[in-house]
Structure formats: C-alpha cells, structure tokens
Structure 1
Amino acid sequence: MRAIIIDDEPHCISSLKYDINLFCPEVEVIDACHNGHEGISSIKKNDPDLVFLDIEMPAMNGLQMLDQLGGNIPFQLVFTTAYDKFAAQAFRLSAVDYLLKPIDTHDLMDAVSRVKLRLNRDVSRQFDNLKYNFGRPFAEQRVAFPHRDGYDFVNVKDIAYCRADGAYTTVTMADGKSTLLSKSLGEVTEMLPVKLFERIHHSTLVNIQFITQFIKRDGGYVVMGDGVKLAVSRSKKDRILSLLGLERW
C-alpha cells in the first residue's frame, strides 16, 4: 500500500514513518506533508492507497482539507489525533480509524490490518458522518453500523436497546425496527456514549431515556418504551436505580 502522512509536527511524521517501516512492511510511505495545502497537492499527484491525516493542523485542519478535495476520497483514511477519549467518540461512531498520539505500535498495526480488508471501498459516507458528529453532543451524534454491503447511519438517541445474540448483537430502535450486527455486545457498548447507555445485564445494553418502568418483582426488570421487559442483574440494580433517580430497595 502506498501511503502519505500529513501532519504539521515534524517529530510526529518522523516517529510514524519509523514505526511504519519497522512494523508495517506492507505500507510504503511515498510522501510526507506538513499542512493541508501540501497534502491536497500530494494526494492529487500521487494517488495514494492510504492517508495518515492529522485532524488538528493550523490554517486548514484535516476535515477542512478533505472538504477541499470536493468529497472525492478514493483512498483509505487513518486519522491521527491528540484529542481526548471523549472527542475520539466521534471517530468510533463514524467507523473511521484513528490513532491517538503518542501512537501505540499495536494500534498502528491493527489499523493497517483493517485498512487492508477494505481497500477499494468508498469511505466518503464515513467521512460525512464524522463531519456531522464532530463537536456535537453525544445525544445528537450518529453511529455507523456495518452490514454486508456497507454501513447504516442511525441517530444515537434513537437506539432503544441492544441485546447479545451469540457473537452478534440485535439493535432495536425507538420505532421498533431491529438490526442484527456482526459485532459482539461488548464491541457495540464501546461504540456508544456511556452518558446515554448502560449495561443492565451481561446480555443487555439499554438507552436510559427509553426506560418507562422499573419493576422490583421477579428478580427486577425494566420496561422499555415498546413494552419489552428486560431483566436487570442483581449487581446492576443499585446503579440503575441511581441513574433513574430512585431510592435503593
């Protein structure tokens, strides 16, 4: 894979090039750029397979640089960022690969492995979703759910609950529609904002906003907006009661 690195910090470029050469022999770094303008010129000239793009650069940040390309993104993207874990939520929700600085070599190798699996796929919709999510409150963001032919983009606030189905997860929306994802419940839990979602059982994740009742009998369960009853594990009861503003029993 032919790659370009775009970052305004020379030491970050040098460090990433070193790690790529040492740990990712399938990647050839063909150019390194220090700002968005250089990046645009290099992309048009070199037609790379992969771009490592710093999200925060002076004059023109990474998102603005991609906008300047007119929405045409015929290459794979891995963002590099010093943003904290809360801002990084926007990347996860958008199904966009990112590396937190200082970059961990294992994370780098994992990102390159994922890129290899999706070469030649259009990433424009993920980028559009990232632009939509960036800087918005969690409740207003959208999540990219993968399926066989691509991704479905849904509003986080419209997800009512998720239930484990073996190695898969069934996601139920507020309108009653359900989707089976080829991701474990643990993976889905990591994608969604903790301020809205809570594991009430080892097999169930719920959007707290859609709980309409907490019932003490039969071991304890919640009733969701669609009338579905979901068991609450004993270890989670006090936590759920607290989130709902209720007294412990």
Structure 2
Amino acid sequence: MTPPVPISVLVVDDEPLARRNLVVLLQGDPDIGSIEECASGAEAVAAIRRRKPDLLFLDVQMPECDGFDVLELLGTDGPQTIIFVTAHDEYALRAFEAGALDYLLKPFDDARFTRVLARAKEKIARYASHQQAPRRLVVKAPRRLLFIDVSDVDWVEAASYYACLHVGQEAHLIRRTMAELERDVGDSFIRIHRSTIVNLARVSGLELQSSGDYAVVLRSGIRLRLSRRYRQALQSRLIAAPSPA
C-alpha cells in the first residue's frame, strides 16, 4: 500500500543533534516532503495545530512539557501517526497507551529507523484509503473472527499493547492503539481519559466524587474516571448531542 506523498513530518526533541539525526534520515526517503523541527513541547503543540503534520517524531523527555504532556494538550488534534523517541525503554508501554505507533530507543541504527518509518507509511496509507469511519471492528478470537458494530461498543480502554472493547457484558481485546480506534469509531465517541474513550449514546450523566473529580456514568450503571482535561469537551458534546432513541 502506497502512502499519499509527500508526507509532512514534525520532529520534536530538545537536543539539536538528535533532531538533526532524524532529519537527515528522513531526507533520504523520497516519500517525505516537508520536515519541521521543534525544540520544546510548547512549540510542538502550536506547530501541530498550525501545520497538522502526517507524521510526528516526539521525544519523551523534555523540560516543562514532555512528550506525553504534548499529546494530552492536543487531545483529538494530535497527528494520526506518532513515533516516540526515548533513551529509556521503560516508557515503551506508556507510549503505546498514549497512541504511539512505535518508538525509537536511543541510540538507534539506520535499519531500525527504516523499519519504523515503513510502518508509519503503511499506517498513513491505510487511513488515506478510508474516507469514512468503519461500521464494524474486526476482533481476532481463538479459531474465529468477530465483527462488532461500532454502535454496539459502550466504551474502550487501553490494555497494555491492546485496547479492550466493552460491549454489554462482554469484553474483547483488539490489537489497535487508542488513537487509531478513536479515529475509527468516529464522532459518536469521545475521549474522557488518556486511556478511555466512550460512546456518547451510552452516557447517562456525570457524578461528582468525594475527591472533587467527576465520573462518567453509563446507562449500564458503570462509572468511568473522567479526566479534568476532557471534562469541558465532554459536557459540550453531551449538551449538543441528540437524545438516544
């Protein structure tokens, strides 16, 4: 599958040498178009909102605003394809939970970079070929495939290298990132926490907790943690959304 070209890229790292290394490698690929650099997380947030790059190389450890902070600040405005760059492998799991396609562990060689970039281009091509959100999600189960209607999913949570689809009393693991699923399920879902997205039609209300935070209450009675960062967006969507039949 061939990605649309040219691919726009944003490289975010507070170390000039690290940024330069990535830029040089990217310039050697004929599918790469514009390449922009940012030296801080704050710069990255502004640049992503302004340029909307196809591909983001994002350093984890940066002063004041690190890579995870960048994605939380962006919410659904983040790029569809994100590759974390880190010198510490303990961030790998959290990177996948945050929606990263892959991560580069410093120092990395050209072969590793080439494999990661190939995966990124495949993902960009896949999204370019789908103009609408799919009506069904495919879940691989032992000796069978399950086809789950998106509208039947109550909520989705990050589960290590997988995501867990909650459908009524059932739960299904799917090897997709939260960022991928958030885009696939479309506008009928909304993120309420960095590791949770929920079907708006299943939300019955918000409940104030003793901690001062709110929980999202589903029609099934399940309560899900609501991050303060996403509360205003959720309330706006709930007010604007039509009542379910």
Q: Which has the higher contact order (CA 8 A, sep 6+)?
A: 2
TM-score normalised according to structure 1 size: 0.47
Q: Which has the larger radius of gyration?
A: 1
